[in-house]
Structure 1
Amino acid sequence: MADQDEQRRTAIAVAPNGGRRTKADHPAIPLSPAELARTATECLEAGAGMIHVHVRRPDGRHLLDADAYREAIAAIRAATGERMVIQITTEALGIYAPAEQVAVLKEVRPEAASLALREIVPDNAAEPVFADTLSWMKQEHVLPQIILYDPAEAVRLAGMIRRGVVPWQDIPVLYVLGRYTVSQTSQPVDLLPFLAPDMPRFANWSVCAFGQHEAACVTAAALLGGHVRVGFENNLLLPDGRLAPSNAALVETVATAARALGLGLCDAAAIRELARA
């Protein structure tokens, strides 16, 4: 059984770009492999142990492409070595079908990948493909994270675990507090429905949030035993409402708060161990 210090360590992931925002939104949003590598290094120094990567087309639009992912991963790995967990997204963004999402995942064979439940398993008929995909991830040692946009999805995922669709007794999840809409601002109270007494419990859960109160939301999650994801994908603002100068500034804000509250930070090795537990 982990000791108390281990139980109170928090993993910080950075989501530095997402699939929607461009340099018109913030000039420091990293889009190229070189920019992603530089951002990864800055965020590692600020306290992040994982980076959540999106790649883009030359015109800035969202892209799922194996070669583009390999180039970005190689650049980040060259800059940070093994000190960052590199997680790719399979997000469809309304462009890609589940089969295309899974195909890119298998072609890249990344260290880690996130899968939105509502995209990969849009209905019960898609469950066999989801089961096969997760079994492949387990066999290939690709660390999974299931993205959940509302509590009903958490209940659905827990049911899949009970029925053996998911080849683990537990699986890392990310609770999304809010939606990708203009001026969306999440609040810490938005986390409570995910943690209600009648809700399923996941041993490894993380939170991301939108807008100025991102740090407050994820710090609340950390105090309640969760892990955190911050970055320009969901938020461009510091807690006081000023424009954040960089992704690293958002990471540093949360890392400083966590340490001040007595929480340790997970390095990449600890994140890998947590994901495999």
Structure 2
Amino acid sequence: MSRRPNTVNWEQVNKWVSREGAQASWKVFGFPSIMSIDRTAFSDAEPMPKWEAPPKLILSTAINGAFYTKNENPNQAITPEEIIRSAEECIAAGAQIIHIHARDERGYNVLDTGLFRETLTHLRTNHQHVALDACLVAVNADEERMMAEMMKLGLMEGVPVNTTALILGDNHFVKSPATIIEKTKRALDAGLTPQIAVYSDADIDNARRYLIDSGLIQGPLNWLVLPGLPGCSPMYSPETMVDGFLRLVRLIRHIDADSTIIACTGGRTSSYLATLAILLGVHVRVGMEDTVWKWPHRDDKIQSNVEVFQQISGIAAALGRDVMTADEYRDLMTLRA
């Protein structure tokens, strides 16, 4: 960088220094207080108002998901035994909310009552205080039948309803209006909380049109926001992450003012999006369902779900937000049909 020429008017500077010296103007209008933290000297107006943010943080841990296999991350939990072991490591570290998928013997996502029952029954029996959610996406008639069976088992608190139509990675993922409405109704009939899962701003409008303005469900609702993955709201940099996430949050709050929003830290955004959500008073889902990376700018892969749970719970503690208990989470999820 080239050095700029010195253009200071030293004659003018020296004239004023000779008159007044190199002194600041300082008057203490509120003496004897220099800077009161709770009022001004002239009124009870608070000089620095306290921010409004929920003191408690939902910190959900999504164990395995539908996207990543051991090819993408060899530490991914696939079998019921691996899923249970990973979940119990997180529970031992203080996790209160566990979200799972089932995988078949090849490692692919599947809606199988037997696999879900094996995992959820073990966790419910041995960790009754923990809240459990499961993703029940039916892609054929057999899975639709098993989705109905799963909803009636009484093993979980909530189930996502994806109000979406997108190219997710290299996959065509579409929920028709009838499917969106019917799955929501079935969840409500089974006493489950439908978690409105959105990947882009268009998905938010689908939820408004088919679920909220139709009168099927009333707020405050529970939202899962999953940007950052290929085909979802893109987040290419810190600036686009902040801009994109703020738009999603504002759109949701425009149609559901008292909403409970959970940011799912997908793709490269990982811990950075989690930190942004905590700063904004939004809740967070972490874990190996939504990402394989620890950080957006490096290729280090997550070694375990408990590792990322401890990382984000530590950030939350440093920012003054306590992790919500499972019972507090259940109370917050209660919806009116």
Task: State the TM-score, normalized to the length of structure 2.
Answer: 0.69
Comparing 18-27 and 51-60, the one that deviates more? 18-27
Q: Which residue number in structure 1 is paired with residue 222 of structure 2?
A: 172
Shift in Å at residue 39 of structure 1? 1.0
Higher relative contact order (CA 8 A, sep 6+): 1
Which residue among 150, 164, 170 is the counterpart of 1:108?
Answer: 150
Q: Give the 3 Å change call, closer, same or farther, for CA 61–122 of structure 1 in structure 2.
A: closer
TM-score under structure 1 normalisation? 0.83
Shift in CA distance, 121/170, structure 1 to aligned 2, threshold 3 Å: farther
Give the alignment of 1:75-114 within 5 angstroms: 75-79=122-126, 81-91=127-137, 96-97=139-140, 102-109=144-151, 110-111=155-156, 112-114=158-160
Find 2:263's aligned residue among 207, 217, 233: 207
Q: 1:150 aligns with which of 164, 181, 200?
A: 200
Matches within 5 A, 1:161-200: 161-164=212-215, 166-180=216-230, 187=238, 188-189=241-242, 190-196=244-250, 199-200=254-255
SS class of match (1:145): strand
Alignment of 1:274 with 2:327, yes or no, is: no
| Aligned counterparts of 2:95 and 2:52: Cα–Cα separation in 1 | 18
1:249 paired with 2:299, answer: no
Deviation at 1:212, TM superposition (A): 4.4
Aligned residue in 1 for 2:316: 258
Farther off after superposition, 16-25 or 68-77:
16-25
Counterpart of 1:226 in structure 2: which amino acid? V
Distance, in Å, in 1 between the alignment partners of 2:119 and 2:107 is: 15
- Is the Cα contact below 8 Å between 1:10 and 1:263 reproduced in 2? yes
3-state SS of the aligned residue for 1:24?
Answer: coil
- The 2-side partners of 1:173 and 1:271 are apart by 13
SS of equivalent to 1:144:
strand
Give, in angstroms, the shift of residue 137 of structure 1: 2.1
Deviations 1:111-150 (A, max 9, x none): 22112112697344x1xx5444333322322122111011
**Computing the radius of gyration over CA atoms, which structure comes out larger, 1 or 2?**
2
Q: 1:122 aligns with which of 170, 175, 179?
A: 175
Following TM superposition, by how much is the alpha carbon of 1:73 offset from its aligned partner in structure 2, in angstroms?
A: 0.7
Percent identity (aligned): 24
> Gaps spanning 5+ residues in structure 1: where?
none
SS at match of 1:63: coil
Change in Cα spacing, 1:59 to 1:132, as seen in structure 2 (3 Å) is closer
* Contact 1:5-1:264 at 8 Å conserved across structures: no
Of residues 216-225 and 262-271 in structure 1, the stretch that sits farther from structure 2 once superposed is: 216-225
Distance 1:49 1:223, change over 3 A: same
Contact 2:163 2:204 in 1 (8 A): no
**Mapped contact 1:185–1:211 kept (Cα < 8 A):** no
Supply the RMSD in Å over aligned alpha carbons.
2.8
Separation in 2 of the partners of 1:177 and 1:47?
A: 26
SS in 1 for 2:64: coil
Distance 1:221 1:227 in 2: 6
The residue identity in structure 2 corresponding to 1:103 is R
Offset of 1:6 from its aligned partner?
9.2
Amino acid at match of 1:113: V
Report the Cα offset of residue 5 of structure 1.
Answer: 10
Asked if 2 retains the 8 angstrom alpha-carbon contact of 1:15 and 1:52, the reply is yes
Kindly tell me the number of residue pairs found equivalent between the two proteins: 263
| Residues 216-259 of structure 1: per-residue CA shift (max 9 Å, x gap) | 20221122222111111222222373322211111111100001
Question: Residue deviations 1:37-66, cap 9 Å, x none?
Answer: 111111123343222211111121221111
- The more displaced of 245-254 and 134-143 is 134-143
CA contact (8 A) 2:64 2:100 kept: yes
Q: Cα distance, 1:88 vs. partner? A: 1.0
Query: Alignment partner of 1:30: what SS?
Result: coil
Larger CA deviation: 233-242 vs 171-180 = 233-242
1:66 to 86, 90, 113: 113
CA contact (8 A) 2:223 2:260 kept: yes
Question: What stretches of structure 2 of length at least 5 have no aligned partner?
Answer: 1-50, 166-172
Q: CA deviation at 1:9?
A: 0.7
